[in-house]
Amino acid sequence: MGSFFSTPYRLFKTFNPPYTPPLPSSKPIRFGVLGAAAIAPIAFISPAKNHAEAVVLAVAARDKGRAEVFAKKYGIPKAYGGKDGYQDMLNDPEIDAVYNPLPNGLHFEWTMKALAAGKHVLLEKPSADTADETRQMYEYAERRGLVLLEAFHYRFHPAIQRVKAIVDSGELGAIKSLEARLALPRGPMKDNDIRFDLSLGGGALMDMGCYTMNCIRYLSGGNPTSIIHASAEQHVPSSNDASLRAAAVNVDRSTTATFAIPAPSGSSDITATIFCDLSMPPTFGFIPKMPQVSAKVVCEGGEVELFNFPLPTFYHSLTVRKRVAGGRVEKRVEKVYTFGGANGSEGATPKGEVWWTTYRYQLEAFIDKLKGRTPQTWLDKEDAVSNIEWIEKVYKETGLGSRPKSTYVPEALS
């Protein structure tokens, strides 16, 4: 009966978070958004409007009119546009921090330019096309005393942290294997999507696969030592359009890979599998496939699975199956929308509401960091670099090769 009322309440508040005016006592962080990107409203603007220490002050788009329409729609006071629109916004002394949701292949250039302009950066995943560029961005941010965060938003939500706490508690014994799957049926992703353009850092492994890579590393607590198997299916645009076909060369529609990860206990290696697909073909050519959005850890004494690990606020199901005396399997299902002590945390309960999205939790952490407070969760340079390093290794193994390095040469490094 509880969820009969609590689910509509949670979903209503998730989609209509209350506007929280900036606190006069705390100097709010003034943000600029680089690009009128589709993801910006849900992943950043809406959470920011609910945060008392965040103000979305500006948006920049390549087209001034597009920037103005976007600004008006989301109540953003300043709109920058045109050839120099992005840089003009970065030059604005009233901006403290930037949200960068540009295509992956532009992350490096515009993050480096934002850091050069003295702005902190909340950077969409994956950080860049290559590990080398990722390292450069983090090192430059460190040198400049600025905060850079790769926006793996799901990591800030209590649901995935609860899975990690269950695994780490030893309740289910040592980890034997794990898998993370993120795949969408054919339909939503059009051929002209940035994800199908190699020059913009496209590919399933870059897009959805970067979460699955991050997830197996997070839940196992380690980095792989080798790739046991990797294979990819290339994207083939449905039309004969020559530019779409050229853009899609070496772009994976789907990738699967299995890794060996050393077990923390020193026993035999953990086997970790990832699967990602931007556009799963229908079964028998006409039955649409169901999305795949799960992370699962199999241990010696049972298993734990989180259905919908990337967007748990909307719906999730955390299922624990534990072998008990007599070979019976006990099953329990948990719902974890807030910390509320569920992750075994001691001291003050971290902030949160049942309707907080992964993005809202993430913004809380980002602002805590900027304000000199200790964020509940943080992802550092090593995490970001290792993730893309292993993505590059998988691309090498599948024969598709790394996404192209940016041609931008930062002044700071030239």
Ligand X SMILES: O=C1OC[C@@H](O)[C@H](O)[C@H]1O
Binding site for ligand NDP (CB under 6 A): 35-39, 43, 61-62, 66, 101-104, 106, 124-125, 151, 153, 194, 200, 207
- Residue number, 101 or 302, with CB nearest to ligand X: 101
Residue 316: closest CA among 159, 161, 164, 163: 159
Q: How far is the CB of 363 from ligand X (least distance, A)?
A: 16
Tokens describing residue 72: 């008006």
3-state secondary structure 121-168: EEECCCCCCCHHHHHHHHHHHHHHCCCEEECCHHHHCHHHHHHHHHHH
| Binds 36: which of ligand X, ligand NDP, none (CB < 5-8 Å by kind) | ligand NDP
323, containing H or E segment: strand 317-323
| Binds 276: which of ligand X, ligand NDP, none (CB < 5-8 Å by kind) | none
Catalytic residue among 119, 125, 322, 393: 125
Neighbouring residues of 266: CB distance < 8 A, sequence distance ≥ 6:
none
- Residue number, 201 or 224, with CB nearest to ligand X: 201
Q: How far is the CB of 234 from ligand X (least distance, A)?
A: 18
Q: How far is the CB of 306 from ligand X (least distance, A)?
A: 15
Q: How far is the CB of 330 from ligand NDP (least distance, A)?
A: 34
Q: What's the number of CA atoms in the CB half-sphere (13 Å) around residue 356?
A: 26
Edge-to-edge order in the sheet of strand 302-307:
226-234, 252-261, 270-280, 175-185, 294-299, 302-307, 317-323, 329-334
Locus of tokens 């532009």: 106
| Binds 208: which of ligand NDP, ligand X, none (CB < 5-8 Å by kind) | ligand X
- Residue number, 195 or 322, with CB nearest to ligand X: 195
- Residue number, 55 or 204, with CB nearest to ligand X: 204
Residue 235: closest CA among 248, 222, 218, 217: 248
Please tell me whether residue 31 adopts helix, strand or coil conformation: strand
Q: How far is the CB of 67 from ligand X (least distance, A)?
A: 22
Q: Give residue number: closest CB to ligand X.
A: 207
| Binds 153: which of ligand NDP, ligand X, none (CB < 5-8 Å by kind) | ligand NDP
Q: How far is the CB of 61 from ligand X (least distance, A)?
A: 19
Handedness of CA 360, 362, 366, 368 (dihedral sign): positive
| Binds 151: which of ligand X, ligand NDP, none (CB < 5-8 Å by kind) | ligand NDP
Using CB under 6 A as the criterion, what x/- string covers residues 179-208 for binding ligand X? ----------------------------xx
b vs e for 256-293, b when ≥16 Cβ sit within 10 Å of the residue's Cβ?
bbbbebbbeeeeebbbbbbbbbbbbeeeeeeeebeebb
| Binds 129: which of ligand NDP, ligand X, none (CB < 5-8 Å by kind) | none
User: What secondary structure does DSSP assign to 235-271, as a single string?
Assistant: ---SS--HHHHHHTTT-EEEEEEEEEE--TTSSSPEE
125 catalytic? Reply is yes
- Residue number, 90 or 342, with CB nearest to ligand NDP: 90
- Residue number, 14 or 271, with CB nearest to ligand NDP: 14
305 contacts ligand X (rule: CB under 6 A): no
Please tell me whether residue 403 adopts helix, strand or coil conformation: coil
Tokens describing residue 70: 């976007």
Catalytic residues: 125
- Chain residues that interact with ligand X, rule: CB under 6 A: 207-208, 310
